[in-house]
Structure 1
Amino acid sequence: MNLQTRIYEKQGDLSGSEKEIIQGLLSSAKENSQLSLKDLSKKLYVSESAIFRLCKKLGLSGYSELKFELSAASSIKNHPNTNFVKEMADLTANTIKQFEARNLTNFYIDVQTAKTIYLYSTGWQQELLASYISKELFLIGKQTVLLPSALDELKMRGQFFKKGDMLWTISYSGNNTAVVNELKKLSLIGDEIKMVSLTKMGSNDLATISDYSFFFQTIDFSYQTDGSKPKSCFSPAYILIDLLINGYFDWQQKKG
């Protein structure tokens, strides 16, 4: 698991100051990989212990492994994705094909009967997706509540979920252990609430415990910043959301 993947999986658990440290680390990954812990802490204006705690939170053994991961990140060559348009077209077609192959009647019924739809996300891109879903659901008359990414917020709100509520969880990997464990506790409520997951394509723990699981793929943009992996495009996820919302509207119209 590379450094970027670790960061994606732990985004929901990171504090604002830890995210700033990560930005500083990745902005000059090659240079930072050659610094001692003392020199790096001075450069980033943080304590050595703050960097060490971040290493542990990301699942790294210590600063030496962080230096190795930074070096690996900086070695990624700047090869533009010259097939971006074709990949986007292919993923769009594939997303539509998978959507059309599913029978979503029960999902639509649960969306319709849901008194309140809660949305919880585990990172910045996921927060944007959750906000988009919330607005789209609002436009078709559903009451939604956007939960902050902090795990404590999910724990607190979980005490007040009522029968008929629905919880959407948007996670890139779907394997955030702390989030999955908390959702497992909520699932003990039984049929009180319906759980929906939106994650990247592939088997993951979150999808396993959800009543309805939806998957999206990402592609790399043509550009990337020095010392970091190419930025991911989440357009296929937005296309999937549009298909789900429009599908629900069409189902309502046909049902009368």
Structure 2
Amino acid sequence: MDFRTLINHHYPKLTASEKNMANYLLAYTGNLDDLTSQQLSDELYLSRAAIFRWLKKMEIDSFAELKYLLKQRDHLPQGQDDFEEVIQNYHLYVDQIFAKQQLQPMVALLASREVIYLFGTGNEQKLEVESMRQLFTSLGKKVSVLFDQGEFSYAKENFSEDDLFCLISYKGESPEGIAMLEECRVSPIKTLVMTRTSTNTMSSLSDYQLYVPTTSIHTKTKFTHGISTTFYFIIDQLFEGCYQLLHKGGKA
């Protein structure tokens, strides 16, 4: 059984941190010869014991066998099968969002805020932030997009306990995003971080976190293209929940 099939087979019984490890390894593009269990432990903020429990749950006998499976994955033919796997993973992630993500508290949080401030740490994230701004503005919410540290410094003077600062970041390690969140810790504003990994610095600094699983296509030139459609899917779900709550009197 190849590595991706193995992941898909065992995925439903994995914990959140174990799913994070699986997604990390699926997207891993580093030198497998140099990869060690200690390196993986440091990268994911997990103990080596947790890694070996995961291997046992995945029915992988050793870390060496894991590296072998990852190398076999890298030698699979590129092309149409890659995109078929992307589609398969996308369905898996959407099912995971419906089954596991507790969006109701986030919907209630967004619906109750007086002002929602938004920040994206990269170009694609800024597009997702703009989509979120348009949707929530249409609900009658006051939404402000912050483009850089300067705008944040100006806006923070008006932060109140009734507001929310929402940041979208893929890795959750943006120095600018981290600096903003550290300043928010001495401010009355609440913070929400949306990232594609469940363990990262920005999530650890925020009041609320949303894990948004994604997948990637690895090309022959070693360029990795991240498929981030699930971020838009989550944003749409949050919008729909707020619409029901604010305008139809329904349950989020």
Query: What TM-score, normalized to structure 2?
Result: 0.60
Pair 1:231 & 2:225 matched: yes
1:206 to 193, 202, 216: 202
Once superposed, what is the RMSD of the aligned Cα atoms?
2.8
Conserved 8 A contact 1:92-1:239: no
Question: Which amino acid in the other structure matches residue 171 of structure 1?
Answer: S
- CA distance in 1 between counterparts of 2:118 and 2:154 reads 14
The CA deviation at 1:91 is 2.5
Structure 2 gap segments, 5+ residues each? 1-73
1:194 to 185, 190, 193: 190
Q: What do the CA deviations read for 1:38-97 (whole angstroms, capped 9, x no partner)?
A: xxxxxxxxxxxxxxxxxxxxxxxxxxxxxxxxxxxxxx9994362323432432342343
The CA deviation at 1:251 is 4.1
Conserved 8 A contact 1:117-1:166: yes
Q: What do the CA deviations read for 1:170-194 (whole angstroms, capped 9, x no partner)?
A: 11211123421331221222xx322
Q: Which residue of 2 aligns with 1:139?
A: 138
Task: Specify the SS of the correspondent of 1:182.
Answer: helix
The aligned length equals 176
2:180 to 176, 179, 182: 182
Q: Which residue of 2 aligns with 1:243?
A: 237
Q: Which residue of 2 aligns with 1:123?
A: 122
The CA deviation at 1:241 is 1.4
Task: Specify the SS of the correspondent of 1:175.
Answer: coil
* Aligned sequence identity (%): 20
Question: Which amino acid in the other structure matches residue 101 of structure 1?
Answer: K
- CA distance in 1 between counterparts of 2:216 and 2:203 reads 24
Question: Which deviates further from its counterpart, 203-212 or 178-187?
Answer: 178-187
The CA deviation at 1:123 is 0.8
- CA distance in 1 between counterparts of 2:138 and 2:91 reads 24
For residues 33-44 of structure 1, what are the structure 2 equivalents within 5 Å? none
For residues 13-28 of structure 1, what are the structure 2 equivalents within 5 Å? none
- CA distance in 2 between counterparts of 1:146 and 1:182 reads 14
Q: Which residue of 2 aligns with 1:16?
A: none
Q: What do the CA deviations read for 1:96-133 (whole angstroms, capped 9, x no partner)?
A: 43344344443223212211111111110111110111
- CA distance in 2 between counterparts of 1:97 and 1:166 reads 26
Conserved 8 A contact 2:216-2:227: yes
The CA deviation at 1:227 is 4.9
- CA distance in 2 between counterparts of 1:81 and 1:213 reads 35
Query: What TM-score, normalized to structure 1?
Result: 0.59
Task: Specify the SS of the correspondent of 1:246.
Answer: helix
- CA distance in 2 between counterparts of 1:105 and 1:171 reads 21
Q: Which residue of 1 aligns with 2:214?
A: 218
Conserved 8 A contact 1:163-1:193: yes
Higher RCO (CA 8 Å, separation ≥ 6 residues): 1
Task: Specify the SS of the correspondent of 1:82.
Answer: helix
Pair 1:94 & 2:68 matched: no
Conserved 8 A contact 2:193-2:203: yes
- CA distance in 2 between counterparts of 1:96 and 1:143 reads 31
Q: 1:142 to 1:87 in 2, by over 3 A?
A: same
Task: Specify the SS of the correspondent of 1:180.
Answer: helix
- CA distance in 2 between counterparts of 1:125 and 1:193 reads 25
- CA distance in 2 between counterparts of 1:139 and 1:100 reads 28
Q: Which residue of 1 aligns with 2:84?
A: 85
Question: Which amino acid in the other structure matches residue 194 of structure 2?
Answer: L
